[in-house]
Amino acid sequence: MSTAIRIDDELYNEARKSAEAESRTVPLQVAYWARIGKAALDNPDLPGELIRDILAAKKQNEFEPFEFRSEK
């Protein structure tokens, strides 16, 4: 489900630029920023860059399950 929201032109243009650089759509870029912002508010003691890296690793793990190698 999606819901339309209004954002100011400046935020939209910044999202568009970042979205192009990150190969995302503008709505996905805004959602990405919102997830990082929410995580930052929930964890004020963590640096923003660490939060971004954790979210990226979490997303990557959704698609690439880790396989343990057996040692022989």
The per-residue pLDDT for range 6-58, each reduced to its tens digit, is: 999 999 999 999 999 989 999 999 998 998 899 889 988 989 888 888 888 87
**CA 72 to each of CA 22, 58, 69: distance values in angstroms, whole numbers, following the listed order:** 42, 30, 9
Residue 64 has pLDDT above 70, yes or no: no
56 domain-assigned: yes
40 domain-assigned: yes
Q: What is this structure's pTM?
A: 0.69
7 domain-assigned: no
CA 15 to chain CA centroid, nearest Å: 12
Per the structure, the count of domains in the chain is 1
Nearest by Cα to 15 from 5, 4, 26, 24: 26
pLDDT value of residue 65 = 63
